[in-house]
């Protein structure tokens, strides 16, 4: 099942935001263990980048969701996946705003708790995303298979100038 763009961009776009948000939690932990100010600042910037990137990826996720036929299990799982990830992004955004209000970028206890809850939601939302692709086949080409031809093979033709014909 493909969307109007003929491919699912959302799975490609979530990799960096998810990695950034996990890294932000690790940086906050390092800040608390070492007391290093640089970890706190890096965690704040990493959180902001993860929230911005995640919001961008979410737009493409909604495009994919609208291509799922109504009344299907995939549509329900996709909605839950999107809502959980929206809540996760909101928690990380509030965590970042709390740091911003500190003026020193130091994470507050509340901002760390919000980020940890956001991380738990990210794991659950990611599991639902894998369910959509792996079990329900959302975003997977109907012609997919272990020996399927490359989609580029059908459209790529050598330029007459390059092939000498």
Q: Around Cβ 24, how many Cβ atoms within 10 Å? A: 27
Dig out the tokens for 111 from the structure: 């901002």
Cα–Cα dist 88/120, whole Å: 8
Rg, C-alpha atoms of the chain: 20
Q: What is the mean pLDDT of each run of 10 residues along the chain (165 residues)?
A: 64 94 97 94 97 96 92 96 98 95 87 97 96 86 69 56 54
> What does the buried/exposed string (b/e) look like for 44-55 if buried means 16 or more CB atoms within 10 Å of the residue's CB?
bebbbbbbebbe
Cα–Cα dist 11/65, whole Å: 12
Cα–Cα dist 46/58, whole Å: 18
- For residues 27 and 47, the answer to whether their CB atoms sit within 8 Å is no
- For residues 81 and 128, the answer to whether their CB atoms sit within 8 Å is yes
Per residue in 87-121, pLDDT tens? 999 999 999 999 988 788 899 999 999 999 999 99
pTM above 0.85, yes or no: no
């Amino acid at each position: 099942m493909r969307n109007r763009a003929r491919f699912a961009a959302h799975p490609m776009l979530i990799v960096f935001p998810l990695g950034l948000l996990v890294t932000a939690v690790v940086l906050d932990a390092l800040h608390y263990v070492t007391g290093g100010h640089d970890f706190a600042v890096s965690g704040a910037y990493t959180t902001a980048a993860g929230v911005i990137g995640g919001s961008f990826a979410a737009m493409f996720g909604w495009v994919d969701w609208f291509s799922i036929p109504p009344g299907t299990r995939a549509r329900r799982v996709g909605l839950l996946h999107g809502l959980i990830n929206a809540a996760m992004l909101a928690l990380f955004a509030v965590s970042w705003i709390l740091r911003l209000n500190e003026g020193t970028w130091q994470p507050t206890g509340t901002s760390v708790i919000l980020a940890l809850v956001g991380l738990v939601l990210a794991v659950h939302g990611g599991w639902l995303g894998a369910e959509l692709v792996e079990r329900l086949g959302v975003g997977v080409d109907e012609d997919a298979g272990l020996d399927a031809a490359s989609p580029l093979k059908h459209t790529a033709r050598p330029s007459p100038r390059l092939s000498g014909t």
